[in-house]
Structure 1
Amino acid sequence: MPPTLLDLSSELTTRILCALDAESIARCELTCHSVRSLIRSTPSIQHHIACDAAGASDDFTVSTIQRSILERTSALVACESAFAQLKPMWSALLPLPSTCVGPASASASVCASALASVELSGGIYVQTDADHKRIHWVTLPDLPDIKPIWTTLNPVQAEETSVVLNITTAVEENDLIFVVKYSWIGEDESAGVVSLWPFCLSTSLVHPQARGGPIEVLSPVYGKPFVCVEVVGDVVACTVIPDEPSNRTPPRGSDHAFIVNWKTGEITKDIVAPPKSFHGLAFLTPEVLMLSNMVDASLELWDISPTGIVRSSPVLTLHLPFLSKGVKIFKMATRSRPNPRAYDGPANTNPFRIASPSSSCDALVFFQLTFAETLRTAQKFRARNQPITVLDFNFRPAHLARRDAAERGLGVGRKLKSGVEWVSQWEDMEEVKSTSPRELQELQMKRFHFTSWKDVVEPEDSLCAADEVNASFDSTTETGMALPCSYRQLCGFGRQDYAAVIMDDSRIIAQRKGALEVLYFG
């Protein structure tokens, strides 16, 4: 008779069970009393279940605080419970610097003339000021009695005719803050140059590894553009979308997506698209970049590996479901957290390394889509547009994989509809959208599962038909709150005096009347 699981040593059985997900372990508990007793009495299995249910990872090898596995499990469960009940362990009010007034945005696309840019990475909160000349950052406290001190970075000097368009950070990897600047050509503010500036966050100086210094990516640009920027390892990806008047025919410039090695200053790829195409980007792996194409209503996956085959087209294009007749996408922003890491292990010893960095294995890519009927006037569109819809799907670094339909993590927000509904048309989603003013303030999330994703080698495999893209409706917002969501009601931050809400895996932060309201969950 072949040996069974119970015939193995307890150590080997534990290793086998820890290779399963939480749902599979729960099924194993139902087999017999011996297995159930082993699962419930083994700290490593319980810790694995807690991490899997939370979509978290625990890299205790880089932790600055040595805690037992029972203490780590207890802390994780307490944090998840606090998030689920929206009951923070403590809260604090941090005054903003006096120059940080006016609206702020945590979205991927930031218009320099209207919104400040906000970042949250590695426990560091970063924000531009009202006139887009300075950047302020602070290390958020982990204890209620700590009074943090703001630090100011001045990327734009007094004599410069420049503004900061957007920022991004790579705190854990490179102690890096990346600044995108728009500099006028002469005295003409309608024409300028877009450049990338890598700074060291801890010193506020130009990053010492940036041998090429500032990187000019596009000139001339007419009008302050929309810019999205992300950095992973040595690579920074930046999309530039010219801000053209809606009545100009034809528009002046095309959209560009630049892939740059920020350490050498070399632009390795320049992807050009029709105007108003690129409204977001996300790294799926350090070698795969996803661009959201608003014109084609598709997601483009580009191979950006330095040793890969040079392609003039994406290796994979995923078309979103068809819109109803007369409906158009007006904005398609994208955000991903946590970003994948190009370096394994603590390769850098920067002062901002967090104790237990999140894993990109279960990272979420969020979309913010704004769409409305094209026949409406601009004024009616602003007043009566469809609520912003936040979509997310899951990927794994080694391969693009469908996420299991079972819920992982916790829910925040009012439940709109029970169960999971599979749809393939946008109009099917309209049935679950509310129209009352109160409910329009709710943050709504849809989770997309791309069932036909696979490693693509040949260009002829690069197109997925629309009917191959399935979507599941998620009735509540999900954890993994490493993504910022602006101008939405969430966790009580629904009043108009809240300028922005941004989250990570232990905090929810709202900007309100010149201060940051920090809710700490553990």
Structure 2
Amino acid sequence: MSQTLISLPPELLIRILCYLPLSSLTSCLLTCKSLYTLITTSTILQYLIELESTSTSDNPLSPFSLSEKLSKLRARSEAWRKLSIAKTVGVRIKHRPSGIYDFTGGVYLLGVAEVGSLRPTKGLKYVELPSLDDGEVKSPEWKSIEVGEDIIDIGLALREHDLLAVVAYHDDPTDLLPTPLTPQIITIHLLQFSASSTSSKPCPHPLASQPVLFVCKVMGAQGHCSLGIEIVGDTLALLLTFPYSGPTTKDWLYIWDWKKGYLKATYDADWMTYTTLAFLSEHVLLLPNLTTQSLDLVPIPPTASYPTSSYPPAPTRLRTSISLGLPPLKSICTIIRMACRAEPNPLGAAYYESKANSGGNEDTQGFHDAPEDAILIFNMLIQDTVPLRFGHVSSVSFVVHRSSLLRYFRAPSPPLSFPPLPSVSKMDLDPESQSRSSSPEDPPCPTLDFPLWGPPATRWFLTDNTPTRWITTTCGQRYVSVLEDNASPIVVRDFGRLAVKKMEGVWKEQKARRERRTKEEKRREEEEMEAWRKEEELKLEEERLKLGKVREGEWRKLEEDGERRVGEAVFGVFDEGRGEGSSRFSGALTEEGEAAASAGVSRFRSILARLAPSSLLEPYEEEEDEDDEDGDTSSTFSSYHPYPVYDPDRMSISSTMDSSLPGKVIDIGGGKKVRLVTERTALPVQLYVGGEEGVEVWSELGYVESVSEEEYDYAAVLMDEERIIGMTFGAVVQMDENNDRVTGIDILLVG
């Protein structure tokens, strides 16, 4: 006897179904009643379906059970969809913040500046943000981390490594007579975040073989440097630029193995070619190229094995695998700045294994937003260079999924290798020596124009009225924004593909329900109209009977008599008082004749109204009356309509949902509405995006938009998995107008 799939034991069948993607599980639901019941009643299958549909990943180290995780995940998704703010906690900032900040892993960090100076950053302060899972929510206290050097910027990898990477600089100790032009040494301090926050001095990270990494030596004449730093797995990427030094300098990209403490790869480019970077995966780096107006995808070389007794191999030169073109600009415009960010960052391949082996785990959350398909936000400033509009800057942002970009990435063939080169000491790794050892020219890489990849994968926004300096405005599939300098609602857009597809299904279902309801109401109206007509006919028949059941001959006689009397009244034909020789049908109406005519007409119409067939009761429109003294030349009599006309495409929407915007407004219950946007939209032509021909830039990436009911007076908003951070205005808590420094925040807990 052959055994079928359904005949397997339920626990074995559930185990098999756990390996299926969501699309296959959906097909199984429609197969038979047995599979439907099994899938809908299995906690683990429902949890896996919820994980994939919300683009989240499970945390196997969490102490929560599957049922608790499923309940929390559904509650969190519903809270974000309705944008329900469960609690707001205000935090005052008593120190003077510098321009450094970061917001990740439940930690909000700000730099500390000296009073009266813009730079440098002398220290760090942070708060551990409260969570609704903590029970009682209290206002957090600021904690300090002292580094002992002037800080340029920082990088955080708290969830993966408990790592704080501080990029600092100090004067060259070999220069005995320091001046403003004295060379400066840039270094990276690898610190353990949790230990450094409880100690009076910085604590080196235990996994870093070299707690301080030498980066380079720069001349003081190059001025202030700007950098971007990201950490994924064992890789630390550092982008170093000098925006105020001019085209005589270069941009430098460094790729470090921070655990082994050696430089894996470098890359140099012309001045202001790159201003930001982001990881697409553990092995692929994204570099927006301002010169070519493209997104460069760069593979990261693997870690080399070498004896611990010898120097590491010389760094290799990075090469671009493919360039994805951005929409072309007109020749009168240029991109002066671009920043990008994706949260959370990808995790190293050995993350969960290393956490399990370490024995300690502070990450008790049941699930996290999946980094492999998180969205990236790109903020661009486009400047006019024509004399009449010189200095005019437009702000544009666009969103794209990591997976959409990785789709076009191809690993280099043959793979990057480490050739046997002479070993070098760490102090020899300065920009000049690296440029001499790098290849003079890179081989050309393939380029894909924007129309071939961009429209279905991106969504573009005009952000002139939206603060874009604060880049941590996305987490997972969501993007938060608020209007600048005005009290406005908070807007959260969910770009999850399955969330959009789910809302499309809800919209179709609601539309079909409205159409069915409209048809049912129309049918009910017709039935009631027919019943009303029959009732009126019965009333008319009763009236006929009340008149004495007039026979046909008598009715005809009555009708002829009525016509005769009306004719005589109209033409004034009476037997009495008529002059001799006068015609029967001549002469004007006398006063008595006019009264008799009026009475006759009224009586005649009354008789016709009672005895006329029902077809005469149909509504009609009167002809225009040109002599109407009020100027109203027409009057319309509408038919009997017991119910108002219902238009299924016109919905009552809240004041925060502008019906003039593209998209469909969907009622999700509880008085809440969201907007589903799947239509393609174009950027305004005044942005000069689209090249010399003025071709419109289309974007089609769908999203679901939720809008808060309350308006907030924030200068900017940030977000993570369960919170929104608002920079507040006010008499005491306000934004520093001169230095764009926040002096107070609100923590909005979504739940």
TM-score (norm. length: structure 2): 0.53
Tell me whether 1:390 sits opposite 2:346 in the alignment.
no
Q: Residue 56 of structure 2 aligns to a residue in which SS?
A: coil
Q: How far apart are 1:203 and its partner, in Å?
A: 2.2
2:341 aligned partner, one-letter code: R
Deviates more, 1:338-347 or 1:15-24: 15-24
Larger radius of gyration: 2
Q: How big is each residue's C-alpha offset from its partner over 1:230-285, in whole Å with a ceiling of 9 and x where there is no partner?
A: 1123331100110226xx5xx23100001123344422222101110112222233
Residues 507, 519 of structure 1: 8 Å contact kept: yes
Match of residue 28 from structure 2: 28
Tell me whether 1:457 sits opposite 2:454 in the alignment.
no
Match of residue 128 from structure 1: 111
Q: Find the aligned partners of 1:47 and 1:253 in 2 and give their Cα distance.
A: 53
1:269 aligned partner, one-letter code: A
Change (3 A) 1:478 1:182: closer
Match of residue 140 from structure 1: 129
Q: How big is each residue's C-alpha offset from its partner over 1:333-388, in whole Å with a ceiling of 9 and x where there is no partner?
A: 22232222233311546675353463433333332233344436787424xx1x33
Residues 338, 364 of structure 1: 8 Å contact kept: no
Q: How big is each residue's C-alpha offset from its partner over 1:166-190, in whole Å with a ceiling of 9 and x where there is no partner?
A: 2111112322111112445634179
Q: Find the aligned partners of 1:179 and 1:153 in 2 and give their Cα distance.
A: 11
Match of residue 225 from structure 1: 225
Task: Provide the aligned length of Structure 1 versus Structure 2.
Answer: 441
Match of residue 717 from structure 2: 501
Tell me whether 1:366 sits opposite 2:390 in the alignment.
no
2:413 aligned partner, one-letter code: V
2:297 aligned partner, one-letter code: E
Q: Find the aligned partners of 1:2 and 1:299 in 2 and give their Cα distance.
A: 56
Deviates more, 1:454-463 or 1:131-140: 454-463
Q: How big is each residue's C-alpha offset from its partner over 1:439-485, in whole Å with a ceiling of 9 and x where there is no partner?
A: xxxxxxxxxx5654344425989413325433324499986168897
Change (3 A) 1:300 1:454: closer
Residues 174, 348 of structure 1: 8 Å contact kept: no
Match of residue 291 from structure 1: 287
Match of residue 392 from structure 2: 381
Change (3 A) 1:264 1:37: closer
Q: Which residue of 170, 180, 186 corresponds with 1:194?
A: 186
Match of residue 353 from structure 1: 363
Residues 206, 213 of structure 1: 8 Å contact kept: no
Match of residue 306 from structure 1: 303
Match of residue 256 from structure 1: 252
Q: Residue 280 of structure 1 aligns to a residue in which SS?
A: coil
Q: Residue 206 of structure 1 aligns to a residue in which SS?
A: coil
TM-score (norm. length: structure 1): 0.74
Match of residue 319 from structure 1: 324
Q: How big is each residue's C-alpha offset from its partner over 1:271-308, in whole Å with a ceiling of 9 and x where there is no partner?
A: 10111011222223333322222212232313232239
Residues 293, 300 of structure 1: 8 Å contact kept: no
Q: Find the aligned partners of 1:13 and 1:279 in 2 and give their Cα distance.
A: 52
Residues 377, 397 of structure 2: 8 Å contact kept: no
Q: How far apart are 1:208 and its partner, in Å?
A: 4.0
Residues 342, 474 of structure 2: 8 Å contact kept: no
Q: How far apart are 1:68 and its partner, in Å?
A: 2.9
Match of residue 337 from structure 1: 343
Q: Residue 6 of structure 1 aligns to a residue in which SS?
A: coil
Q: Find the aligned partners of 2:165 and 2:79 in 1 and give their Cα distance.
A: 33
Q: How far apart are 1:56 and its partner, in Å?
A: 0.7
Q: Where do residues 229-248 of structure 1 align in structure 2 (5 Å cutoff)? A: 229-244=229-244, 248=246
Change (3 A) 1:135 1:351: farther
Residues 371, 476 of structure 2: 8 Å contact kept: no
Residues 328, 374 of structure 1: 8 Å contact kept: yes
Q: Find the aligned partners of 2:67 and 2:287 in 1 and give their Cα distance.
A: 42
2:216 aligned partner, one-letter code: L
Residues 197, 206 of structure 1: 8 Å contact kept: no
Q: Which residue of 75, 80, 86 corresponds with 1:78?
A: 75
2:67 aligned partner, one-letter code: L
Residues 343, 474 of structure 2: 8 Å contact kept: no
Change (3 A) 1:38 1:218: same
Match of residue 510 from structure 1: 726
Match of residue 153 from structure 1: 145
Tell me whether 1:469 sits opposite 2:453 in the alignment.
yes
Q: Residue 299 of structure 2 aligns to a residue in which SS?
A: strand
Tell me whether 1:216 sits opposite 2:226 in the alignment.
no
Q: Find the aligned partners of 2:50 and 2:254 in 1 and give their Cα distance.
A: 40
2:351 aligned partner, one-letter code: D
Q: Find the aligned partners of 2:186 and 2:389 in 1 and give their Cα distance.
A: 29
Tell me whether 1:62 sits opposite 2:61 in the alignment.
yes
Q: Find the aligned partners of 2:10 and 2:447 in 1 and give their Cα distance.
A: 46
Match of residue 543 from structure 2: none
Tell me whether 1:94 sits opposite 2:105 in the alignment.
no
Gap regions ≥5 residues in structure 1: 102-114, 396-401, 403-448
Change (3 A) 1:165 1:464: same
Q: Find the aligned partners of 1:88 and 1:306 in 2 and give their Cα distance.
A: 45
Residues 383, 391 of structure 2: 8 Å contact kept: no
Residues 265, 316 of structure 2: 8 Å contact kept: no
1:47 aligned partner, one-letter code: Y
Q: How far apart are 1:517 and its partner, in Å?
A: 1.0
Gap regions ≥5 residues in structure 2: 115-120, 173-177, 197-201, 306-312, 416-442, 462-472, 492-706, 734-742
Q: Residue 469 of structure 1 aligns to a residue in which SS?
A: helix
Change (3 A) 1:464 1:226: same
Deviates more, 1:79-88 or 1:352-361: 352-361
Residues 315, 456 of structure 1: 8 Å contact kept: no
Q: Residue 253 of structure 2 aligns to a residue in which SS?
A: strand
1:229 aligned partner, one-letter code: I
Q: Residue 203 of structure 1 aligns to a residue in which SS?
A: helix
Change (3 A) 1:486 1:31: same
Hey, which of these two has a bigger chunk of strand by percent?
1
Q: Find the aligned partners of 1:483 and 1:307 in 2 and give their Cα distance.
A: 38
Residues 111, 125 of structure 2: 8 Å contact kept: yes
Change (3 A) 1:153 1:499: farther
Q: How big is each residue's C-alpha offset from its partner over 1:198-218, in whole Å with a ceiling of 9 and x where there is no partner?
A: 222122223143443332312
Q: CA RMSD in A?
A: 3.5
Q: Which residue of 150, 168, 173 corresponds with 1:181?
A: 168
